[in-house]
Homo-oligomer: A and B are copies of this chain.
Amino acid sequence: QPAHGLVRGAAIRGPAIQSFLAVRKRSEELAEGLSAEDCMVQSMPDASPIKWHLAHTSWFFETFVLAQAGADFRTFDPAYRMLFNSYYNGVGEMHPRSLRGVLSRPGLDEVRRYRAHIDQAIVALLERPCPPEWLALIELGINHEEQHQELILTDLKHHLWCNPLHPVYRAARPVAAHPAMDMQFCEYEGGKTRIGHAGDSFGFDNEQPAHTVWLQPFALGKRLVNNRDYLAFIEDGGYRQPEYWLSEGWERRRSENWQAPLYWQAPESAGQGWRIFTLSGDQPLRLDEPVCHLSYYEADAYARWCGARLPTEAEWEHAAQQAGTAREVFGGFMESGDFHPVPPPVTGAQPSQMFGEVWQWTASAYLPYPGFRTAAGAVGEYNGKFMINQMVLRGASCATPREHFRASYRNFFPPATRWQFAGLRLARDVLG
């Protein structure tokens, strides 16, 4: 690395240290109030123990930054290279995903020491001039850890749900009363537009390159679909009639006996209402909240039932660009402390809660953008190798860190996924 290629200015490296330490601290704050036992549960193969998330995010910095960066790094434990490798074949062997819950050793305390060890090493590295590649990888590691922060919350929610005691993670916060709102739509002319990430700020490889697309005229729901809307679908027999469903979705619904979104609990007797499990335990179902914990199949069936459809990701991103920073566009994020979607606060000119509360399933498959390139080496496995049989979600959720997302951000999950904070916004064709 030629010396003139080093990032010498403390003006860059200083904020990087701050960002790094802030995200590292926040991960540990998420685990506050949880026992070592709580932090090692894996309730299904798709989910991971919190302790594993805490270690794996550190492994990421070790493997992709520290292990590359020079001879003076002392590894904390060589066995971790395999134990906390998630899916990078280029790094070598990995502990089987479905067995992450058996790792009582290292214990939570040991993992915390591992985190401190990595923290010190990264800070030490950033305190001296370093190549820009290292900074870029540290920024990737920060964004990576933010993604795992959301997974810590979704995995924990599933874990607590599997415990018949339905424990409370954080006490529920009061929600202001809110009037019901009809569904309205914003219209867009379509035509030539540009989506994707460009510029110097951070973006994942899968958001790049920015490129031109052509849109037909369309309309987008001004608010998210809420529980009241969705309950009408349930009560109209939506879960009993195949005509609204994709064929695979109907099969899944039947084989897993879906009758409502995940975490919904049907009334036990005539006089009672629906309840919903949250990170604050079981709660009455609030009708004006954005509906959440839907699979793509359910979101798609709901949209078909009401004569609409899901937006494509290009439509969604175009609308988000238009919406700019209008107040109503931003809902709540991880930092709100709700850990659960809340009703939209106001009606404005732009669609409300475009970001925050719930991820929004789009009608777009998760595929490479034209000109997509992966990074060289194992870190190139980050996103690209999952571009099949998944659908894109846009926006962000009540479990997403505030600084994590942007209009070009592409989240993605298989269509049967239900344990994420995922809901929907309707779209419609507009005849030109």
A contacts, CB < 8 Å to B: 35-38, 40-43, 79, 82-83, 87, 89-90, 95, 99, 101-105, 107-108, 159, 162-165, 167, 192, 211-216, 218, 242-243, 245-250, 296-297, 309, 312, 363-365, 367-368, 370-371, 385-389, 391, 415, 429
Contacts and interface: CB of A to CB of B under 8 A. Distances in A.
A104 B38 contact: yes
Nearest to A101: B101
Contacts of A296: 388
B216 A213 contact: no
A310 B21 CA distance: 42
Contacts of A389: 248, 389, 415
A243 B90 contact: yes
Question: Which of A90, A165, A192 is the most central at the interface, judged by chain B CB atoms within 10 Å of its CB?
Answer: A165
Contact of A101 (B41, B365, B367): B41
B79 A165 contact: yes
A388 B102 contact: no
Contact of A36 (B36, B192, B218): B36
| Oligomeric state, in copies | 4
Contacts of A216: 211-212, 370-371
Contacts of A42: 101-102
A161 to B, nearest CB: 9
B105 A165 contact: yes
A343 B408 CA distance: 44
A104 B297 CA distance: 32
A83 B242 CA distance: 20
B104 A41 contact: yes
B43 A102 contact: yes
